[in-house]
């Protein structure tokens, strides 16, 4: 709960770090409980898995419950091994986090010295800015061009104070992606004192052949990749994500990580869902068909949207996005207002189940027709 500015005491304010004084707490997508509407609510706002939780993950959680009185493994080798095998790296290349959000913080903690700068694309995932600002970093923002991250201008923004560059690929909230050739060009001649973070939270949804998986750059570059179990793998509520990098960087991140950061149930569920090919294939199918339906419908209704490589579509709703979201709520549908990203007329729609997508399009049509 935020408190009003008028209730803030200047005496207490003097105690807080200066770097946090003009920050706003991160505003997550609304939940059914937040809204206080009786209607059966459809939440299409936080890019979660449309089909829910893997049954294998549920079984793994149930059978792990009696062990939760013990601390979990601190760097669970078998899970890191499983993830590593799937990615084509070694367990020493993997660090697990309480969501990939935690790894963003660990990177800032481990790498950023006072006075060093962070380059961010704008818009991009808000947590990079929040975490870097809280740490007192100077942020250099580079606007996207035609709804795509502008790598050329990001490279031009590098100076001798630059330490970190965070880029989500595909981009959240836009859904657009950078291709292999663009990344190869970008990574040439990046100064050795800069660490680049490519956040691949949506990698499993990408179908394009020219999307860069990035692993071949790990040995040659100061690179950290971020991935998550919150989206494709359907475990957002358990909070588990991971980073991939060279073993030395992983070691640095482990030095600033609190012990037991990933809970036991999350570890067990993550291991189980990786084996649930049926669930993973079904997720891909539902998202791919749903996205096709949404995009075709938007084309028919003459709404502009950004081509998306992810499980969400960012749409120009031809009116104030916040007002549009409010009107959608009256239909029992929660979508993401992109005002905090300065995309005032845009909303972000997570691809849902077939009937949820249909309900969204029906409501969109009614809102359009006033």
Ligand X SMILES: Cc1ncc(COP(=O)(O)O)c(C=O)c1O
Interaction of residue 168 with ligand X, rule CB under 6 A: yes
Give dist(CA 326, CA 311) in Å, integer.
Answer: 22
Interaction of residue 241 with ligand X, rule CB under 6 A: yes
Identify which of 210, 134, 212 has the alpha carbon closest to the alpha carbon of residue 167: 212
Interaction of residue 121 with ligand X, rule CB under 6 A: no
Range in contact with ligand X (rule: CB under 6 A) among 68-76, 82-90, 93-101, 293-301 = 93-101
Give dist(CA 62, CA 199) in Å, integer.
Answer: 31
Given a contact cutoff of 8 angstroms between Cβ atoms, the answer to whether 240 and 270 are in contact is yes
Q: Which is nearer to ligand X, 101 or 276 (CB)?
A: 101
Interaction of residue 267 with ligand X, rule CB under 6 A: no
Q: Which is nearer to ligand X, 49 or 168 (CB)?
A: 168
Sign of torsion, CA 27 293 54 167?
A: negative
Range in contact with ligand X (rule: CB under 6 A) among 57-65, 80-88, 94-102, 190-198 = 94-102
Closest distance to ligand X from the beta carbon of 236 (Å): 6
Q: Which is nearer to ligand X, 46 or 319 (CB)?
A: 46
Q: Where are the beta strands (DSSP E) in 192-295?
A: 195-199, 223-228, 241-245
The β-bridge partners of 241 are 97, 228
Binding mask 123-152 for ligand X (x = CB under 6 A): --x---------------------------
Give dist(CA 104, CA 118) in Å, integer.
Answer: 12
Q: Tell how far CA 202 is from the center of its chain.
A: 7
Identify which of 197, 193, 286 has the alpha carbon closest to the alpha carbon of residue 241: 197
Binding to ligand X (CB under 6 A) within 28-47 occurs at 47
Rg (CA), the chain: 21
Q: Which is nearer to ligand X, 56 or 231 (CB)?
A: 231
Give Dmax (Cα) for the chain: 58
Interaction of residue 311 with ligand X, rule CB under 6 A: no
Give the Cα-Cα-Cα angle 135, 141, 142 (nearest 5 degrees).
Answer: 150
Binding to ligand X (CB under 6 A) within 189-228 occurs at 199, 201, 228
Q: Is 106 helix (H, G, I), strand (E, B) or coil?
A: helix
Closest distance to ligand X from the beta carbon of 27 (Å): 12
Q: Which is nearer to ligand X, 47 or 222 (CB)?
A: 47
Q: Which is nearer to ligand X, 236 or 329 (CB)?
A: 236
Interaction of residue 287 with ligand X, rule CB under 6 A: no
Interaction of residue 105 with ligand X, rule CB under 6 A: no
* Binding footprint of ligand X, residue count (CB under 6 A): 13
Interaction of residue 236 with ligand X, rule CB under 6 A: yes
* Prior bond of 170 cis (ω within 30°): yes
Give dist(CA 252, CA 309) in Å, integer.
Answer: 32
Q: Which is nearer to ligand X, 4 or 258 (CB)?
A: 258
Interaction of residue 99 with ligand X, rule CB under 6 A: yes
- Binding residues for ligand X, rule: CB under 6 A, are 47, 99-101, 125, 168, 172, 199, 201, 228, 230, 236, 241
């Amino acid at each position: 709960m935020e408190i009003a500015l008028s209730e803030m005491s200047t005496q207490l304010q003097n105690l807080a770090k200066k770097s946090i004084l003009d920050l706003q707490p991160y505003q997550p997508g609304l939940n059914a409980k937040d809204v206080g509407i009786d209607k059966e609510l459809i939440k299409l706002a936080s890019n979660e898995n449309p089909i829910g939780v893997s049954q294998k993950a549920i079984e793994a959680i149930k059978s792990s419950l009696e062990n939760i009185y013990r601390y979990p493994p601190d760097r669970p080798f078998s899970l890191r091994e499983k993830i590593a095998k799937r990615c084509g790296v070694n367990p020493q290349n993997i660090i697990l986090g309480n969501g990939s959000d935690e790894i963003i913080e660990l990177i800032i903690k481990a790498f950023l010295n006072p006075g060093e700068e962070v380059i961010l694309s704008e818009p991009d995932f808000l947590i990079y800015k929040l975490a870097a600002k809280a740490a007192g970093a100077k942020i250099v923002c580079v606007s996207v061009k035609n709804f795509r991250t502008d790598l050329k201008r990001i490279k031009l923004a590098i100076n001798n104070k630059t330490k970190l560059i965070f880029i989500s690929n595909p981009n959240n909230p836009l859904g657009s992606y950078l291709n292999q050739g663009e990344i190869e060009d970008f990574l040439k001649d990046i100064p050795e004192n800069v660490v680049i973070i490519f956040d691949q939270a949506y990698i499993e949804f990408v179908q394009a052949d020219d999307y860069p998986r990035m692993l071949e750059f790990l040995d040659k570059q100061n690179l950290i990749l971020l991935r998550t179990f919150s989206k494709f793998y359907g475990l957002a509520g358990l909070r588990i994500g991971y980073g991939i990098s060279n073993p030395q960087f992983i070691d640095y991140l482990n030095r600033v990580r609190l012990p037991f950061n990933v809970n036991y149930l999350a570890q067990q569920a993550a291991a189980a869902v990786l084996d649930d090919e049926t669930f993973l294939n079904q997720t891909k199918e539902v998202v791919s068909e749903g996205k096709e339906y949404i995009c075709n419908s938007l084309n028919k209704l003459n709404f502009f949207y950004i081509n998306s490589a992810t499980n969400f579509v960012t749409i120009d709703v031809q009116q104030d996005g916040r007002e549009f979201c409010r009107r959608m709520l009256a239909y029992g549908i929660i979508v993401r207002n992109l005002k905090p990203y300065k995309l005032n007329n845009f909303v972000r729609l997570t691809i849902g189940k077939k009937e949820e997508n249909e309900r969204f399009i029906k409501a969109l049509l009614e809102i359009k027709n006033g």
